[in-house]
Chains A and B, each alone.
Chain A
Amino acid sequence: MSTITKSKDFKDYSLGSLEDPLNEKFKSSINLDGENKEQLLFDYKQMLLIRKTEEKISEQLVAGEIKCPCHLAIGQEAIPVGISRFLRKSDRVFGTHRSHGHFIAIGGTAESLFAEVLGKASGCSKGFGGSMHLYGKEFGFYGSVPIVGATISLAVGAGLAAQMDKKENSDMGVCYFGDGAAEEGTLHESLNFASIFNIPVLFVCENNLFSSHLHISQRQPKSVVGRYADAHDILSYTVDGNDLVAVSQAAQALIDNSRNGGGPGFLEVVTYRWKGHVGPQDDMDVGIKRGEALNHWKKRDPIRRLSEGLIKSNLSTEGQLSAIQKEVDQSIQQDWESALQAPYPEKSTLLSAVYSQPSPGGKNV
């Protein structure tokens, strides 16, 4: 368990080698000691599914078939997959503008995502939301929205509700957000609130070092975002977000603690997005400096590091992994085609959901 480190153990709250694109340590295969083979293969498939779904979206943005703005998280797949291992349908997960992976990792289908970004009635938000507004409450995905920081307090509220339910081994609120969102006051208010009321909530900060075109060094005095959790007396880990095992070990520790009354947890996962802030291009908004770093970060590919680890530790073979890849490719192609064929929402539905239908209300109804 040497891979996971408390945020406060980072000297001077600097990510150091973890943010240094030249560091070789984070480019090699990951350590799979003590890990369950079936789980790893499942996770591998999930990560591939996210990657290839987003590659398809990227390709179809270029082709002009998809027209809504899409923020891709290619390169960040280990994070939601490592965390979702420990989540269940009765948990409450909230996402951001960059949530395709969060959605799929917890049970969303590529087909309902494709349909949504195409604006089809069969989309996960019925074509009303596009890439930035995803929904899947039946598997615990309460919603993703693009207003930065907006879902953080919602997850705290969902955690408060879970606490009020007084279940043993409590359900949890989970919010994903970026390093940029840490600059909004709401994160700090939410951390304080969750801490003082001991809320079962997991704050997941995907620190990809960028907010739009600005590097974190242009926006914050320190690169470890977990320092804010420490300031609010919340248990916080900062780990390599491109290492599935590190992510899942830290997630497990924090989630177990929350479910058992230990209060909120903060998980900072350090990663890098391969695409530009929005859209299919690599780099459009951030210039050459990122271009060089990006090539190094691609060597930290979380999927390759897992697959190499699997082979190295004799948990799988090239043949088995490429069979999984084929399977994923096929299912994505099928999903894309059925999404293409689905109908658009009827114009008459525009006003159908502005106010909800009268419902009996009450959480138990």
Chain B
Amino acid sequence: MSNKMTFGKAIRDAHRYLLENYPEVFVIGQGLWSPWYVGSSMTDLDKDFGTERVIDTPVSEDCCTGVAIGAALSGYKTLVIHPRMDFMILATNQIVNQAAKWSHMLGGQDSPSVTVRGIINRGGQQGAQHSQALHGWYANIPGLKVVMPATPNDARELLISSVLSGTPVMFVEDRWLYDWEDEMLPIKEVDLSKQGPNVLKQGEHITLVGSGYTTYQNTKAAKILGGKGVSAEVVDLRVINPLDITEVLNSVEKTGRLLAVDSGWANCGLAGEIIAAVSEKLPATKWKETPKRLTTVNSPAPTSGSLEDEFYFNEQDIVNKALEIVRNNQ
């Protein structure tokens, strides 16, 4: 029997599972009672679980995040939703200075069990303040786990494991993934601390590394590359802080070539970190070619359609970049 589900619905299913099985879970954030604000990821949860556990809020990002942290310190497992990462910037003090630090600065005696859903929502001529993929910022912070699912199964499993992990987690989703459909496996509670990068597709000539939507793009690019006789291995990072580089390292050891793809910006970003982490460990003799990265153009998002086309990279750009690397020496 087919059990297909989209990425957005899978996230909703994770909420449903958590709310059904864990009375100490509640969800708070802007737009939770609205049919459109957070896409398909919250539909009707307020009706099914009540507005006491699915709380829509005033326009107060900093406060609502603090509220979730405070409740987490008081025995609840809380989920805060920011419909856009851009708005979440207003809550960054609470996330970075409070949630991420709480355990360590108080001697490891307490830890807020709070998961923050930071949603990347870009394109559609929305412009500079409605388009940012800032996962790299947050992944720079010790004490804050940063999870970035790419597949519907991961979206559901990793969200459940984040909320149950007992630590502050930044759960980064890309709205461009919401319609990606997949056959769902039975729900399993997994230990977040054991989760890390996965090889989604085996290959020999080049390793494509990404997370979230870029993993989706990489799998499409790998198909196109296959048609051109290039066998690409696709590694999906899944958890970008703490970053376990082992799978990536094993892959590049085999292929000798690396393209790191990221929807964030280049400078001090995730793609650069991947290249650095692999370079530090992989002996020079194993490299067949200099590694490269593909990141978002170094500007804020424009609105005009003509500029937007130029701003966001697509699968073909990944293919072209991969071919630059492979063509040099195959």
Seen from chain A, the residues whose Cβ lies within 8 Å of a Cβ on chain B are: 67-69, 119-121, 123, 127-130, 132-133, 145-149, 180-181, 183-185, 211-214, 218-220, 284-285, 344-345, 347, 349-351, 354
Contacts and interface: CB of A to CB of B under 8 A. Distances in A.
A127 B304 contact: yes
Given A185-B62, A350-B310, A351-B298, A147 B303 contact: no
B187 interface: no
Given A67-B125, A354-B299, A349 B307 contact: yes
Given A130-B127, A185-B63, A212 B58 contact: no
B226 interface: no
B125 A130 contact: yes
A128 B129 CA distance: 12
B302 A180 contact: no
A120 B304 contact: yes
Given A130-B303, A147-B129, A349-B307, A212 B37 contact: yes
Which residue, of B87, B130, B302, B304, has the highest number of chain A Cβ atoms within 10 A? B304
Interface residues of B, number: 38
Contacts of A181: 59
B56 interface: yes
A67 B302 contact: no
Interface stretch (B17-25, B28-36, B144-152, B313-321): B28-36
B37 A67 contact: no
Contacts of B57: 219
B60 A184 contact: yes
A346 B294 CA distance: 23
Nearest to B63: A185
Given A147-B87, A213-B31, A133 B304 contact: no
B33 A128 contact: no
Contacts of B125: 67-69, 119, 130
B124 interface: yes
B90 interface: yes
B28 to A, nearest CB: 14
B124 A69 contact: yes
B307 A148 contact: no
Contacts of B297: 350-351
A345 B57 CA distance: 39
A183 B311 CA distance: 34
Interface in B42-71: 56-63
B65 to A, nearest CB: 12
Given A133-B128, A146-B130, A350-B307, 7 more contacts: A119-B125, A127-B303, A147-B86, A344-B304, A345-B307, A349-B307, A354-B298
Given A183-B59, A184-B59, A132 B127 contact: yes
B142 interface: no
B35 A285 contact: yes
7 contacts: A146-B127, A183-B59, A213-B37, A214-B33, A219-B59, A285-B34, A350-B307
